[in-house]
Amino acid sequence: MPCFNAAGTLDEALNSLLNQTRVDFEIVAVDDGSTDATAEHLANWAKRDPRVSVLSIPHSGIIEALNTGIDACDAPFIARIDADDRAHPERLEKQVSFLETHPDVAVVGCLVEGFPEGDVGEGFRLYLEWLNRLVTPDAIARELFVESPLVHPSVMIRRSWLERVGGYQDHNWPEDYDLWLRMHLAGARFAKVPEVLFSWREHTARLTRIDDRYSAVNLTRIKAHYLLKGPLRDRNAVIVWGAGKMGRLVSRYLLQQGAPLMVFVDIDPSKIGRTRRGIPIISPDDLPRWWHRYENPAALAAVGSRGARALIRDRLTAMGLGEGSDWWAVA
């Protein structure tokens, strides 16, 4: 029986949950210290439907609210939703079925649509297109260090995996991305039901837009931290492809944490032959020679412009380098 951790009171969200088909569930609505009529509104919902229970806590933020909701659930599968989003009527049924038939998968998401349509700008649309291309465990793992590949309120998670990695933790960066990266390093696999089962509301007050934890700086900090705990662990040389804005940001936090950064790669003739942070910048043609200087090197593709990742992938693949073993995309 999946258990929902719903943080809010919008009737659309609750109705979309209570209309789920062919699956038993309960909703745990966490009221994180609201100062309006939220608590009373939730109490009315709980009176109308026994599947709804309410937990009111002093305002503590999303991480405390998430862990409080999880602690109140005794189900093997825990699903997430926020108060202003919508779940397709078959979301729970299909995610439960997926986890039951794929015991190797720790977290299952789904394809996602943004709404209201008029508020979905190009940046958000491109992000959704990228998310919806990542469906299989291999595809999600391949691009896990680009950005969070799962929409947090669209997922269903095995309780056993949450307990194994210590639930949500506060490191002053995105709590969901932190969870995925910790689970990944512990061996977890992620997948998605290849259907649109979740509608994600776009608005200017969305937490990922207004909270500094979700800034570009903190997204880069978290990548550098877990890269060094995982893919870059025990490497004697790190090569960053991209000496522009993203390469500078990634290299900053890698160097702060002691990464053996040896060289940048860039296609810009004005940068080649110069240095960045005292480290040489070379052309892609020179990369094979530098690569073979080291016993155990790794490369990071850190160019954020559209189409750059595919071009870098082609070049590194032509060198015989494996994505996920020799190099990782981080932008």
CATH number of the domain encompassing residue 283: 3.40.50.720
CATH number of the domain encompassing residue 132: 3.90.550.10
Q: What is the pLDDT of residue 210?
A: 61
How far does CA 27 lie from the centroid of its chain?
24
Q: Peptide bond before 116: cis, by omega within 30 degrees of 0?
A: yes
Considering the domain architecture, whether residues 205 and 256 belong to the same structural domain is answered as no
Q: What is the pLDDT of residue 7?
A: 40
Considering the domain architecture, whether residues 157 and 242 belong to the same structural domain is answered as no
Based on the structure, what is the number of domains in the chain? 2
In the chain, the amino acid numbered 23 is V
Most trustworthy range by pLDDT among 6-15, 33-42, 176-185: 176-185
Query: Looking at 94-209, which runs of residues are DSSP E strands?
Result: 107-115, 156-158, 190-201
**pLDDT band of 35, cuts 50, 70, 90:** confident
Q: What is the pLDDT of residue 83?
A: 87
How many CB atoms are located within 10 Å of the residue 186 CB? 12
pLDDT digits (tens, 9 = 90+) for 267-309: 999 999 999 999 999 999 999 999 999 999 999 999 999 999 9
Considering the domain architecture, whether residues 210 and 226 belong to the same structural domain is answered as no
Arithmetic mean of pLDDT, 38-51: 91
Considering the domain architecture, whether residues 127 and 269 belong to the same structural domain is answered as no
Which phi and psi (to 5°) does residue 320 adopt?
85, 15
User: Cα dist. 137→113, 149, 204, 235 in Å?
Assistant: 20, 11, 31, 25
First vs last C-alpha separation in the chain: 37
Arithmetic mean of pLDDT, 229-255: 97
Arithmetic mean of pLDDT, 26-51: 91
- Coil, strand or helix: which one is 258? coil
Cα gap 303→104, rounded to integer Å: 33
Q: What is the pLDDT of residue 164?
A: 98
Long-range CB contacts (within 8 A, 24+) of 203-206:
203/84, 203/119
Cα gap 210→207, rounded to integer Å: 5
Considering the domain architecture, whether residues 100 and 153 belong to the same structural domain is answered as yes
Q: What is the pLDDT of residue 204?
A: 67
Q: What is the pLDDT of residue 205?
A: 61
Sign of CA pseudo-dihedral 277, 278, 284, 287: negative
pLDDT digits (tens, 9 = 90+) for 190-207: 999 999 999 999 876 666
Cα gap 92→96, rounded to integer Å: 6
Arithmetic mean of pLDDT, 39-50: 91
**How many residues can be counted in the chain?**
331
Considering the domain architecture, whether residues 40 and 185 belong to the same structural domain is answered as yes
Considering the domain architecture, whether residues 120 and 243 belong to the same structural domain is answered as no
User: Cα dist. 29→6, 8, 59, 70, 172 in Å?
Assistant: 5, 7, 14, 11, 24
Considering the domain architecture, whether residues 230 and 266 belong to the same structural domain is answered as yes
Cα gap 182→185, rounded to integer Å: 5
Considering the domain architecture, whether residues 182 and 275 belong to the same structural domain is answered as no
What is residue 151's DSSP assignment? -
**pLDDT band of 3, cuts 50, 70, 90:** low
Q: What is the pLDDT of residue 208?
A: 65
User: Cα dist. 169→18, 67, 129, 172 in Å?
Assistant: 29, 9, 29, 9
**pLDDT band of 36, cuts 50, 70, 90:** confident
Q: What is the pLDDT of residue 39?
A: 86
**pLDDT band of 26, cuts 50, 70, 90:** very high
Q: What is the pLDDT of residue 1?
A: 46
pLDDT digits (tens, 9 = 90+) for 92-138: 999 999 999 999 999 999 999 999 989 999 999 999 999 999 999 99
Stretch (H or E) spanning 329: strand 327-329
pLDDT digits (tens, 9 = 90+) for 146-188: 999 999 999 999 999 999 999 999 999 999 999 999 999 999 9
Cα gap 168→38, rounded to integer Å: 24
Residue 259 has pLDDT above 80, yes or no: yes
What is residue 214's DSSP assignment? G
The two tokens of residue 92 are: 């729970």
Considering the domain architecture, whether residues 66 and 115 belong to the same structural domain is answered as yes
Cα gap 284→312, rounded to integer Å: 9
What is the chain's mean pLDDT, rounded?
93
State the residue range of the domain holding 318: 220-329
Considering the domain architecture, whether residues 121 and 191 belong to the same structural domain is answered as yes
